[in-house]
Structure 1
């Protein structure tokens, strides 16, 4: 026995309305088509489910037994399909993001607020974490996707470049560097440099060594988070470098930001997703929105058409 969904819907409609004409109108089909579906169902089951008479329609014993079962199955299916439709129409859904602490207090809240204005029913959850933990959260499934810079070893993830930006020097307003027409890495090396622990500084020194054939930069202190470095610069303990997307935060600390030349060193940030795992419609929607938001908001700061290093 293998009754079809159309047959079950036809039977439930007849059972609810008690009338073939009303049931046909409810299903938006002809009465003859409805009668054909009931006959097909009875042939499939090998038993009658409806007693027909000139005055009224009643259910047989088997029909009364099947009605609540078929009705519940259809309700459950319709509920599940409505839930899927809500997801695809972005009427519901959850997006889970893993991102470094600095990006989590600058770029992403702005993007989340703009996205919520368009899709208020989508819940976006942000996990602010150390840079080195972003990829682990994506691999474990804690996050739908992660955002972060390139890291060694290369992760077994699907990677899309979100942006590439040049480093900028961050120093207190009124600093003597503010009077210079341009700032170079040799200028930076004359002052105590507050750096970040781990691959941030390692990659920066490697890039400088490859470009300058010497490494003039000597970190005077290393911290875990860029917000700490900015606070230390604000207290007059040195200078640091940052990417332009954090300019508003630097300004809130009373700091100035200037591009650094000779050479222009850049950092790329990526969107990391797990290969072989489909994203939800909400996650795909937010990623597409994020690319557009970054392109629109940080167009002047972004570097384009640069070869990968």
Structure 2
């Protein structure tokens, strides 16, 4: 047996609720003959009557009394789901979970989130800060909708959308010997205790530099490296977006020119799950925000 259509269910619910074909037809914006046709089709489909008609009133049959609450609940659930989808599409609701490395999560990203919230206040943004090498994994596991981080070894089922590319800069205390250099080279960094990040940060630097670099210390978070530099324990390298945190530690930044090494950042999403309207909106907004922020650096 075929299932009743949504129109047939709406017809029965409207007649049952109003006790009148005339009122039900007006409510559904149908002619009475069209409404009667839908009820007739439903009865033919079921093989039983759902309404009892007489000259004075319309009542539900025994089968109609059983079907009415079921149809009514199904239609309420359907209408609620459709309204929810429309609201999400209009960015009147929705949640976007974002994973980002700690340094990005305490500099550029909160500013972008605040700007987005000012424009779309009904969308909830939730930030997960984590080690840089864990960002894509958080996306893969489904813990977050969007990951933002530097280029890493490819993961299956992960899409990578380019976000920005920036050159490395040296970070050191005021009055440091590196400040006297007219042009900084990576080998100059090696003359001082170099504080690096664990994992692919150092591995990729070594591959790209093609020259010796011996980290004195490897830590998990860039904020730890900056605190160590501020304490006079060495120097480090980061990207220009970290400037607010570098200044907070009272440190200086200088470009490293020979060779100039850059780092690409991407927006990571899962290939098997299309981003929600809110996530798509945030990704587009973030791209424009980053372009504006880079102009201000």
TM-score by length of 2: 0.91
Q: Give the match for residue 78 of structure 2.
A: 77
- Cα deviation code 1:251-308 (max 9, x no counterpart): 111112122212211011122222222222222222222222212212466xxxxxxx
Q: Describe the SS at the equivalent of 1:202.
A: helix
Q: Give the match for residue 205 of structure 1.
A: 206
Deviation at 1:45, TM superposition (A): 2.1
Deviation at 1:179, TM superposition (A): 5.2
**247-256 or 92-101, which deviates more:** 92-101
Deviation at 1:198, TM superposition (A): 2.3
Q: Give the match for residue 228 of structure 1.
A: 224
Q: Describe the SS at the equivalent of 1:158.
A: strand
**Residue 24 to residue 233, structure 1, CA distance change in 2 (3 Å):** same
Deviation at 1:50, TM superposition (A): 2.2
What is the rounded CA distance, in whole Å, between the counterparts of 2:296 and 2:59 in structure 1? 74
Q: Give the match for residue 279 of structure 1.
A: 275
- Tell me how large the CA RMSD over aligned residues is: 2.1
* Structure 2 gaps, min length 5: none
Does residue 52 of structure 2 align to residue 56 of structure 1?
no
Q: Give the match for residue 155 of structure 2.
A: 155
**Alignment partner of 2:240 out of 229, 232, 244:** 244
Q: Give the match for residue 190 of structure 2.
A: 189
User: Which residues of 2 match residues 28-107 of structure 1 at below 5 A?
Assistant: 28-107=29-108
Q: Give the match for residue 305 of structure 1.
A: none
TM-score by length of 1: 0.87
**291-300 or 231-240, which deviates more:** 291-300
Q: Describe the SS at the equivalent of 1:161.
A: strand
- Cα deviation code 1:104-145 (max 9, x no counterpart): 111221122122222222222222111222222222222223
Q: Give the match for residue 13 of structure 1.
A: 14
What is the rounded CA distance, in whole Å, between the counterparts of 1:77 and 1:41 in structure 2? 19
Aligned length: 295
**Alignment partner of 1:258 out of 254, 258, 262:** 254
Deviation at 1:9, TM superposition (A): 0.3
Q: Describe the SS at the equivalent of 1:205.
A: helix
Q: Describe the SS at the equivalent of 2:98.
A: strand
Q: Describe the SS at the equivalent of 2:11.
A: helix
Deviation at 1:221, TM superposition (A): 2.4
**Alignment partner of 1:293 out of 284, 289, 292:** 289
